[in-house]
Structure 1
Amino acid sequence: MQDKIVYLNGEYLPLSKAKISVLDRGFLFGDGVYEVIPAYFGQLFCLEAHLQRLNNSLHGIRLPISLDTKQWLEILQPLLIEGDAQYIYLQITRGVADKRDHAFPEQCEPTIFAMCSEIVPFARDKGVQAITLDDMRWQLCNIKATTLLANILLRQQAVDNACAEAILIKDGYATEGAASNIFAVIDGVLVTPINSNEILPGITRDVIIDLAKVNGISLREDVISLAALQSASEIWLTSSTREILPVTSLDNKPVGNGQVGPVWQTMQKLFQEYKGAIS
């Protein structure tokens, strides 16, 4: 298999040759952030929005990076591979310090790593199963941090139950999925949780909100109680690589009539048209 080319600290090199120090704070502490940027037909999707979220995450961990959109584009564009759908994984850590210490080092050069992979297609038209689990994560979920152990354990619990995702419940209301944002159609209205420190501000989520407003789909950002989620006629999971994935079974019970719903079908068409229009 061909060794893909990745970017690491100013160099493009084969993945097998990309190495970091064991003293990198990303390795020792998970002291870093990441971003996932989809690309369609050779064009990075919603790049400005992804970079704004990246900068917000960097600000949240007090790690300034002074690269503008043009500079990021110059770094990321050469990594794109052939294919209709792919994504860039971009990770920035605080870098390598001369000793292991929880406190920020006085001088440390950030480690910047990026690579490109194909987006594996999902069979969205049949829907997926999901499970609800207690949200046990930390209080700064709006930072796209690399410290994802809680998310990993929750997602694996979903996989162990033959589900595609865990929808997380905190104090009786839904926050998001272990690796996705959520939407639900409740009494004919498309509802998604309000942006806060309890959820990641999803780029796909924002696109869906904009498309709903422009196309007359009734939508509100609001709390979704567990009871409301359980009675929803449609539930969706959204992310950069999954796009809009309908949930047809929740906790082994059908969502609505157990089939992909009409609001999802409308939004799926609008989203695919939007992708084609800006690519």
Structure 2
Amino acid sequence: MLVYLNGTYVDHTEANVSVGDRGFVFGDGIYEVVRVVEGNFIMEDEHLSRMDEGLEGLKITLRESLKREIPEISRTLIEKNSLQTGEAKVYIQITRGSAWPRTHTFPEPEVEPTVYLSAESFSPHTELHKTGVDAITVSDVRWSRCNLKTVNLLPNTLAKQQATEAGVNSAVMIRDGAITESPNANIFGVKDGTLYTYPATHYILSGITRNAVIGFADELGIPVKFMPIRLDDLFELDELFFSGTTTDIQPVTEVDGKKIGGGKPGPVVRKIQKAYKEMLYGS
């Protein structure tokens, strides 16, 4: 598999970054994942806009000329890896760059950021979208700037591993008694035909697919309330689902061994799934 690293296309087995790279030693960087269907980049502009927000939030300066090249680099990787048909995903990661010695302050003078992109095939979780998945509740111990899509994913990784060890698909993260996100997706609840989702604060990532779901709901006449779902109210919901670039629209039918609603995907999530599928693949 060919990847892009700092201006060069190279086999992934030969791609190397310095041990002084701040993404390696501090997790000092941001990333994005863009879905590609039959060569079409899904909501690419929205991903690149959020990438800009992340760079600004971390005060990483990327040359405008290089920033403008990212769509072209992405398409070159799709072509070089023969991914023009079927489904794929492009991973974009930008760190503050390599500096020595290791210090907690930003490098002086400023160094060139490390820019890495890869592209690989992708298979949607089609069967799980039909049947729904199970999850457990875990404490949301992430930092308070979850709105930035940084490469600091250790709490997410530990939560996902906890779910795996519990024998379930994923986790529902709880902060101060309220549902925030899953380790790798946003969360929506449904009660009496209304969607509920955590407001777009620093405690969640403003997901690209989340925003698409909100748009679909508006088109379908489904009310949306931006308010936290309390853990105490979780099992009073009619439906629960995850949303994400590679998660798609994933019904959650069981949490902590208890059924959500009727224990199967409900009518609201089915409508959202249909709209999302039409966006990805056409009607």
| TM-score after normalising by structure 1 | 0.95
Alignment of 1:196-215 (within 5 A): 196-215=201-220
Which residue of 1 is the match for residue 37 of structure 2?
40
Task: List runs of 5+ in structure 1 lacking aligned partners.
Answer: none
* Residue 164, structure 1, aligned to residue 169, structure 2: yes
1:29 pairs with one of 23, 26, 30: 26
User: Contact between 1:83 and 1:118, CA under 8 Å: does it hold in 2?
Assistant: no
- 1:146-165 equivalences in 2 (<5 Å): 146-165=151-170
Within 2, Cα distance between the matches of 1:70 and 1:152? 31
Partner of 1:98: 100
The counterpart of 1:253, out of the listed 242, 255, 258, is 258
Write the letter of the residue equivalent to 2:196.
V
Identity of aligned residues (%): 39
Which whole-Å CA distance do the structure 2 matches of 1:115 and 1:212 have between them? Answer: 33
Aligned equivalent of 2:121: 118
- Cα deviation digits, residues 17-38 of structure 1 (max 9, x gap): 1111111111111111111111
Amino acid at match of 2:225: R
| Count of matched residue positions in the alignment of Structure 1 and Structure 2 | 275
Counterpart contact for 2:61–2:113, Cα < 8 Å? no
Give the corresponding residue for 1:76.
74
Amino acid at match of 2:94: I
- Name the amino acid aligned to 2:153: L
Aligned to 2:237: 232
2:197 to 187, 192, 197: 192
- What is the CA-CA distance between 1:274 and the residue it aligns to? 1.5
Q: What is the CA–CA distance in structure 2 between the aligned matches of 1:79 and 1:229, rounded to whole Å?
A: 43
Runs of 4+ that moved beyond 4 A: none
Distance in 2 between residues matched to 1:84 and 1:234, nearest whole Å: 31
Distance (whole Å) between structure 1 residues aligned to residue 224 and residue 153 of structure 2: 30
Tell me which amino acid in the other structure corresponds to 1:42.
Answer: G
Of 18, 29, 35, which aligns to 2:15? Answer: 18
Aligned twin of 2:140: 135
Cα 1:66–1:228 change in 2 (3 A) is farther
Is contact 1:186–1:228 with CA below 8 Å preserved after alignment? no
Question: Which residues of structure 2 form unaligned runs of 5+?
Answer: none
Out of 265, 268, 272, the position equivalent to 2:270 is 265
CA distance in 1, matches of 2:49, 2:57: 12
Alignment correspondent of 1:85: 87
SS at structure 1 position matched to 2:158: helix
Counterparts of 1:55 and 1:149, CA distance in 2: 23
Change (3 A) 1:67 1:76: farther
User: In 2, Cα distance between the equivalents of 1:22 and 1:115?
Assistant: 20
The residue aligned with 1:61 is 58
